[in-house]
Structure 1
Amino acid sequence: MRVVIQRSKQASVAVEGQITGAIESGYVLLVGLTHDDTLEDVKYVAKKVAELRLWEDHDGKMNHSIVENGGAILSVSQFTLYADTRKGRRPSFIDAARPETALPLWEAFNEELKNTHNLKVETGVFGAMMDVSLVNDGPVTIIVESRPKE
């Protein structure tokens, strides 16, 4: 599992001109899943996202998590995070999980953020062509991956 976190001042996602999710201060999460990801990976990455200290304290140091800061999440499924560009000019997406695997895990990830970490979560639409708009804060962009499989 691979998640790109972009700290944002505001963000929204639209499908066919209709906004499906919008947040003020928080994170835009681009969420990619691969074939062997499990609920354990989902829980690990959700906990990491919720607890990472990416918000400044009164001294300007990144010492607060999104939970402490009171921010929200905009979660967007993004199979292209598993693009393989090592050969040729057209990316291969064979490492990305098939929709029947990825969709339930993406939904579980969003529920984990909501229910376990008490975060407001807005989403895009799985598998749709989406227009994502954001005002990147910082910019702060971090990549989180699940633990290596043994």
Structure 2
Amino acid sequence: MPKTDYLNDPAAPRANSLVVAVAVVLRDSEGRILLIQRADNGLWALPGGAQDLGESLHDAAKREVKEETGLCVEIESIVGIYSDPNHVIAYDDGEVRQEFSICLRGSVIGGELKPSVESTQVCWFTSGELDDIEIHPSMRIRIKHGLESRQPYIG
């Protein structure tokens, strides 16, 4: 289901739902960060997605990473909570979600790197390469916070 992200856009549609989502910052031994190219909008992003009913946030994070990247991970810490009401995500079916995403930090413990129906590419990037790829501004904030060693962001 294609989507359109709006951030601080007065023409954005009004939110009609709030769904808990998770994103995961993963770094390799060289300090590179793992990103997926999303199949629904073509932008690069941290792996992640919506939490399902009956699932813990921890399990949702592990499931989403496995689905989108082929990798198995352990979750280690929280990067931040992102709930900006000026960031809404409009889907083709009429749903317009207000952002509510919890970003976590994890480490790879197994699996094989491969794209899925949700991700057309899965790649490791150095911080210097991030300026050269298309990333939504709201995702850039999470990536920046994930690369920094700091207290969890709440906003």
TM-score w.r.t. length of structure 1: 0.27
Pick 1 or 2: higher relative contact order, CA cutoff 8 A, min separation 6: 1
Considering fraction of residues, name the structure with more helix. 1
